[in-house]
A and B are shown apart, each in its own frame.
Chain A
Amino acid sequence: MMSPALANGADPRARTAWTAGVVRFARPQRRALTAYLVAVILWQLGSTSGSWLGHDLLFVGRIPAPSTVFVTWSHLVFDPGYWQSWLSSGKRVTVGFCAAVITGVPLGLIMALSRPVWDLVDPVFELLRPIPPLAWVPASIIFWPTHELSIDFVIFIGAFYTMVLNAIGGARSVDPRLVQVARSMGASRWNVLRQIVLPGVLPSVLVGMEVSIGITWEVVVAAEMISGGGSSHGAGASGGGLGFFIWSSYVGGSYPQIVVGMISIGIAGYISSAALRTVAARLSRWNVAHGASR
C-alpha cells in the first residue's frame, strides 16, 4: 500500500522513479545485450560452418552470416534509397494506424454505449472482421485512386478491428458505480463521458494501440510485396518501402539485403511499440502508480 517514501509527502514520484531507473534498468539492459550477442554468435557459427556438432543446420546454415549482413548494411546506410524505404513504410504505418485509432475508438465507444447502434453495427462488423487485411489488397488497389492510398487502407483495416474491440471492452469495463457517483453529484452526461468514461476506457485503448501497431508492420510489409511497393514499379528499392525492399532484394538475388530488410522491420516495430509504451505510461500515470507497488 503506502511505502514510507510516499508518506514523506513532497514530490514522492520523482524520487522513487529516479532510483528505480538506476536499480531496475541496469540489469535488464545488460541481459538484453547478452541475449543479442549470444544470438549473433550462434548465427555466425551456424552460417559459417553450416553444421553444429556434425548435424546439418536446415535454416541457419543457409542464410547469410551476420558478418556479411553487417557489411552489406554498412554500405546501405549511405544509400538514400534504403532510408527512403524506411520513410515510405513508416509513413504508411502512421497514416493507417492513426486513421484506425481516430475512427475505431469512437465507433467502439458508441457501440458499447448505445444499444441501437450496437444492434445495427455489430452484425456488419462481425461479418467483415474475419476478412484478413491482405484479402483487401486487390480490391483496394482497384478501388482507391492511388497505390499509396490503397496500401494505407489495407494497413488501416489491419489495425481498425483491434481498436474497435478494445474500445468496446474498455467501455464495458468502466465501473458503473463511478458513473452513478458522478451522476448523483449532478454531472452532465457530457461531463461523465469526458471525466469518467474516457479515462476509464484509456488503458484498454492503449493496449489496443500497442497490439495494432504490431499488426500494421506485419501488414505493411505484405501489402508492399503484393502491390509492388507503390508508385515506383521496378525502379529499385527506392520509394517502395521496407516490404518491397525485401522483395526486390529477393528477386535481385541479394540475400544479405533480405536479412537487412528483415532486421530493419524488426527495429522499426520495436521503436514504434516502445514509443507507444512511453506515451501510454505518461497518460495513465494513476495506473502505473498502481503497478509501481509490485
Chain B
Amino acid sequence: MSPGEARSNRVERAEPALRGVELIDVEKTYRTSTGTRTVVKNCSFRVEPGRFSVMIGPSGAGKSTLIRLIAGFEPPTSGEILAGGKPVRGPGKDRQVMFQETALFPWMTTSENISYGPRARGELIDQVRGSAQALTTRMGLDRFRHLYPAQLSGGMQRRAELARAMMNEPAVMILDEPFRGLDSMTKRLTLEYYAEYSQEAARTNLFVTTDVDEAIFLADRVLVMTGIPTRVRTVVEIDLPRPRRLATIVDDDRASELKAGLLAILHEEAAKAFAAGGKETADFVDAYRRHASPTSSNGELA
C-alpha cells in the first residue's frame, strides 16, 4: 500500500472539515506579578487530518502554550479551538499529548502504563490485551514489559509513552519536542520509526520542534511560528517524496532549498525577537546563524 492510497482511504472515512484541529483567532494572556503577558495572539491555523504538521519557531515562544490549549489543559483567553469540528472544552482521548520529558506513571510497569487508558475507561481487558500486546511488540518493548519506567533507558521511555498514547487511537497526536534529550543515534532511529508509523495509516500529527532538519524530515506541512506573542508566520508545504531518509535528506537539492527558505524566515523572526531584547533570543539568533551558514550545514540533529 502506497502512502498516497493510505491517505485517501483515511480521509474519505469522515468529512475532512470535521476532523483535525482548527484554531480561530486564538489569544492567550497570563497574569503575572508585573501585569499581563500575551503569549499567543491572532493565532489561526489548521492541523489537517491525515497529514503530518510540524510547528517550528523560536524557543521560548508560545508553542508549548498552544499545545496545552489544543490539549484542553487550559482554556484560551479568547478565540476558538475546534477538534473534530467540536469546540474544545477540556482534555479528551481524541487528542493525546506527548511531553518534552517523560510523563510515564512511575509506579506502573511498561505494560501497565501502555494499557492505562483503556483500563481507566473501563474497557474490556480481553479486547485491550491484544492491541496492547501488538503495540508493545511493535515498539520493541516486549522484554521490558515488567520493568518500571525508572529502569528503562530514555529511548525506551519515549517508545513506551508513544505506545501508551497510541493505545487510545487519538484523532490527533500532539508531540511537544518529544525526542529532545535523546542521544543523536537514538533520536534518529526514533524519528525514522515514528515517521514510518505515522505514514502507514496517514495519522494526523502536530509535532513541535526547534530543529529545521527534523521538521523537513517529518513534515507534510511546516507551520512557522513568530516569536512572542505567537502566531503563524507562514505555512510551508514539504513536497519531498516518502519514504524519506534522515541521512540522505540533507544532500537532496529540494530539501536544501526548503531548508534555506525556512532558516531565512526563522532567522528573521529571531532577529525581531532579538531587537526586542532578551538573552535567550540572542542565543537563538547565534545558533541559527551558525546553523544556516553553508560550512556547517551537515544536517546535524543534536
Q: By DSSP majority rule, is chain B's interface helix, strand, loop, or mixed?
A: loop
Which A-chain residue is minimally distant from B121 (CB atoms)? A186
User: Which of A9, A185, A285, A289 counts the most chain B CB atoms within 10 A?
Assistant: A185
Contact of B92 among A181, A186, A202 (CB under 8 A): A186
The answer to whether A180 and B91 touch across the interface, beta carbons within 8 angstroms, is: yes
The answer to whether B96 and A1 touch across the interface, beta carbons within 8 angstroms, is: no
Are A185 and B150 CB-contacts (below 8 A) given A175-B103, A196-B105, A286-B106? Answer: no
Determine the chain A residues whose CB is within 8 A of the CB of B106 once the complex forms: 286-287, 290
Q: How many angstroms between the C-alpha atoms of A196 and B120 in the bound complex?
A: 11
B205 CB to closest chain A CB (Å) equals: 16
Determine the chain A residues whose CB is within 8 A of the CB of B73 once the complex forms: 180, 184
The answer to whether B153 and A2 touch across the interface, beta carbons within 8 angstroms, is: yes
Contact of B120 among A1, A6, A186, A286 (CB under 8 A): A186
Determine the chain B residues whose CB is within 8 A of the CB of A272 once the complex forms: none
Task: List which A151-197 residues lie within 8 A (CB) of chain B.
Answer: 175, 177-178, 180-188, 191, 195-196
The answer to whether B150 and A289 touch across the interface, beta carbons within 8 angstroms, is: yes
Determine the chain A residues whose CB is within 8 A of the CB of B105 once the complex forms: 178, 182, 195-196, 199
The size of the chain A interface, using a CB distance under 8 A, is 31
Determine the chain B residues whose CB is within 8 A of the CB of A290 once the complex forms: 106, 148, 150
Determine the chain A residues whose CB is within 8 A of the CB of B97 once the complex forms: 180-181, 184
Which A-chain residue is minimally distant from B72 (CB atoms)? A184
Which A-chain residue is minimally distant from B151 (CB atoms)? A289
Determine the chain A residues whose CB is within 8 A of the CB of B99 once the complex forms: 177, 181
A61 CB to closest chain B CB (Å) equals: 52
Contact with B along A5-25 (1 / 0, CB 8 A): 011010010000000000000
Q: How many angstroms between the C-alpha atoms of A202 and B108 in the bound complex?
A: 14
**A-B contacts, CB under 8 A, total:** 84
Contact with A along B117-146 (1 / 0, CB 8 A): 100110000000000000000000001000
Are A184 and B96 CB-contacts (below 8 A) given A6-B151, A9-B143, A286-B107? Answer: yes
Determine the chain A residues whose CB is within 8 A of the CB of B116 once the complex forms: 182, 185, 187, 195
Determine the chain A residues whose CB is within 8 A of the CB of B92 once the complex forms: 184, 186
Are A2 and B93 CB-contacts (below 8 A) given A177-B99, A177-B103, A287-B106? Answer: no
Q: Tell me, yes or no, whether B152 is within 8 Å of chain A by CB.
A: yes
Q: Tell me, yes or no, whether B147 is within 8 Å of chain A by CB.
A: yes
Contact of B117 among A12, A186, A196 (CB under 8 A): A186
Determine the chain B residues whose CB is within 8 A of the CB of A264 once the complex forms: none
Q: Tell me, yes or no, whether B258 is within 8 Å of chain A by CB.
A: no
A280 CB to closest chain B CB (Å) equals: 13
Q: Tell me, yes or no, whether A94 is within 8 Å of chain B by CB.
A: no
The answer to whether A185 and B117 touch across the interface, beta carbons within 8 angstroms, is: yes
Q: How many angstroms between the C-alpha atoms of A202 and B105 in the bound complex?
A: 13
Q: How many angstroms between the C-alpha atoms of A293 and B71 in the bound complex?
A: 35
Contact with B along A275-294 (1 / 0, CB 8 A): 00000000011110110010
Determine the chain A residues whose CB is within 8 A of the CB of B91 once the complex forms: 180, 183-184
Task: List which A118-164 residues lie within 8 A (CB) of chain B.
Answer: none
Determine the chain B residues whose CB is within 8 A of the CB of A175 once the complex forms: 103
Q: Tell me, yes or no, whether B95 is within 8 Å of chain A by CB.
A: yes
Q: How many angstroms between the C-alpha atoms of A285 and B149 in the bound complex?
A: 12
Which B-chain residue is minimally distant from A284 (CB atoms)? B107
B165 CB to closest chain A CB (Å) equals: 8
- A residues contacting B by CB (< 8 A) are 1-2, 6-7, 9, 12, 175, 177-178, 180-188, 191, 195-196, 199-200, 202, 284-287, 289-290, 293
Q: List 29 A-B contacts (CB under 8 A).
A: A1-B152, A1-B154, A6-B151, A175-B103, A180-B71, A181-B103, A183-B91, A184-B71, A184-B91, A184-B92, A184-B96, A184-B97, A185-B93, A185-B120, A187-B121, A188-B120, A195-B105, A199-B107, A202-B107, A284-B107, A286-B106, A286-B108, A286-B149, A286-B150, A287-B106, A289-B150, A289-B151, A290-B106, A293-B151
- B residues contacting A by CB (< 8 A) are 71-73, 90-93, 95-97, 99, 103, 105-108, 116-117, 120-121, 143, 147-154, 168
Given contacts A6-B151, A187-B121, 13 further A-B contacts (CB under 8 A): A2-B153, A178-B103, A181-B99, A183-B91, A184-B96, A186-B92, A186-B117, A195-B105, A200-B107, A284-B107, A286-B107, A287-B107, A293-B150
Q: Report, nearest first, the 6 A-B pairs whose CB atoms are least far apart.
A: A187-B120, A185-B117, A184-B91, A290-B150, A199-B107, A286-B148
